[in-house]
Amino acid sequence: CSQCGKGFGQSSHLIQHQRVHTGQKPYACAECGKSFSRSSNPPRPQRIHAGLEPYACGQCGKFFGDSSTCTQHQRMPGGERPYQCPACGKSFSQHSQLGQHRPAH
């Protein structure tokens, strides 16, 4: 990546990663119009609309597949992500998440 120097084995992974820097969200939900930076299978909006991610954060509206993850998210004050990866700049709400992410580099 020319922005942060992170390397990728496949060009498609580099293209997907670069959206972190550009803010590009090319995948839109046909039902609600919300845009996303990544595609998934099935697409995340479809999982939400089908009730497969029924737990919503009352502060930001983000959906989760289980109540414990939603509760953990809601405990983050202001949605802060104070733990930042020095290699790629990705931020995390918990130090343990940063530790799990680091081997990716």
Rounded CA separation 14/93 (Å): 24
**What is the pTM (predicted TM-score) of this model?**
0.43
98, containing H or E segment = helix 95-101
Q: Give tens-digit pLDDT for 51-94.
A: 788 888 887 888 888 888 888 888 777 667 778 899 988 888 77
8: three-class secondary structure by DSSP? coil
Mean pLDDT, the chain, rounded, equals 84
pLDDT tens profile 77-86: 766 777 889 9
Domains and CATH numbers, the chain: 25-104 (3.30.160.60)
